[in-house]
A = this chain, B = another copy of it.
């Protein structure tokens, strides 16, 4: 079990190490006589040889690892994506190196340098910001990159995100059908594509449904957190502009709204309907269960990884922008307006 090398196998099979290398590599296996291949395979099996990927990497300058850059592993939205990525990478013999940036550009930069220093063959990035050209620059220098979850504006990068726009329409339509006319939108940070797409979807759906289109009803959250959601929601409640439902950019933001409701003794959905976005794990267990737009998290991961794997093969390739379909998941947190009036 000590570490064997090609030479050990070569000796056992009575051939040269170069021949063993060729026999073991599927791409060059047919350049070795079948008889020799058989002898080598036997020797490999008997000795229990496994190739040393580090030596291979040194020679080929491919590490067979990819960096996975996400905001925060403890945000339940991301583990499913990571597992999706993992499942594809496994098939290709690649391994992920996962880093959490906490949405801090500095941490992100540090981690990315570290990943590149580790010679990752590519990056799967879930932290792109709209103003930021970091990834375009990296791509220009030859780093293979696939964006997931968020896109970067107009950059020629592969990306796979949810169809936020459509999802928002479905949600707004649902609320409109329930009878809501004035919806508070707790938008995400405007420097992310996700926030922008969802906000755009909000605006266009509000208009399409003929609901009140009031600038007061749109508030930007500085971060995708429950705390931020709670703060902005509380402000909006105090602001005096009436609304009967709130559309949160993200389930976490919606959870912040729940907190405020509880603090103030308000009841959801009687006093206020609340909807989230993402359908992250466990939001079906909140009280009440959260109405939200289900985003195919696992598939986003898979698709992003697929794209990167595809890109690694080719020299030049057309960047693709993939939108994955979403579905409206209606649960208990949305209902007909009126609780307010009935009091």
Q: How far is the CB of A184 from chain B (nearest CB, A)?
A: 21
Q: Judge if A315 is at the interface, Cβ distance under 8 Å.
A: no
Q: Is the beta-carbon distance between A1 and B141 smaller than 8 angstroms?
A: yes
Question: Which of chain B's residues has its CB closest to A3's CB?
Answer: B61
Q: Which B residues touch A100, using CB under 8 A? A: 83, 86
| Binary contact readout A88-108 vs B (1 if CB under 8 angstroms, 0 otherwise) | 000000011111100000000
Q: Is the beta-carbon distance between A74 and B63 smaller than 8 angstroms?
A: no
| Binary contact readout A167-203 vs B (1 if CB under 8 angstroms, 0 otherwise) | 0000000000000000000000000000000000000
Interface size on A, residues (CB 8 A): 37
Q: Is the beta-carbon distance between A95 and B114 smaller than 8 angstroms?
A: yes
Q: Judge if A124 is at the interface, Cβ distance under 8 Å.
A: no
Q: Which B residues touch A76, using CB under 8 A? A: 74, 76, 281-282
- Interface segment, one of A39-47, A51-59, A304-312: A51-59
Which A residues between 271 and 293 are near B, CB-CB below 8 angstroms?
281-282, 285-287
Q: Is the beta-carbon distance between B86 and A80 smaller than 8 angstroms?
A: no
Contact residue among B54, B74, B114 (Cβ-Cβ distance under 8 Å from A54): B54
Q: Is the beta-carbon distance between A119 and B285 smaller than 8 angstroms?
A: no
Q: How far is the CB of A280 from chain B (nearest CB, A)?
A: 10
Q: Judge if A227 is at the interface, Cβ distance under 8 Å.
A: no
Q: How far is the CB of A125 from chain B (nearest CB, A)?
A: 17
Q: Which B residues touch A97, using CB under 8 A? A: 95-97
Q: Which B residues touch A50, using CB under 8 A? A: 113, 117
Contact residue among B51, B119, B286 (Cβ-Cβ distance under 8 Å from A52): B119
Q: Judge if A82 is at the interface, Cβ distance under 8 Å.
A: yes
Q: How far is the CB of A6 from chain B (nearest CB, A)?
A: 14
Q: Which B residues touch A63, using CB under 8 A? A: 54
Q: Judge if A118 is at the interface, Cβ distance under 8 Å.
A: yes
Q: Judge if A139 is at the interface, Cβ distance under 8 Å.
A: no
Asked whether A74 and B281 contact (CB < 8 A) given A95-B114, A98-B98, A141-B1, the answer is yes
Q: Is the beta-carbon distance between A285 and B58 smaller than 8 angstroms?
A: no
Q: Judge if A73 is at the interface, Cβ distance under 8 Å.
A: yes
Question: Which of chain B's residues has its CB closest to A226's CB?
Answer: B285
Q: How far is the CB of A240 from chain B (nearest CB, A)?
A: 29
Given known contacts A55-B58, A79-B79, A286-B287, what 15 new A-B pairs fall within 8 Å (CB)? A52-B58, A52-B119, A53-B118, A53-B119, A54-B54, A73-B82, A73-B83, A74-B76, A74-B281, A76-B282, A83-B100, A86-B100, A95-B97, A285-B285, A286-B286
Residues of A within 8 A of B (CB): 1, 50-55, 57-58, 63, 73-74, 76, 79-80, 82-83, 86, 95-100, 113-114, 117-119, 141, 255, 258, 281-282, 285-287
Cβ contacts A to B, 5 pairs, < 8 Å: A54-B57, A74-B76, A74-B80, A95-B97, A95-B114
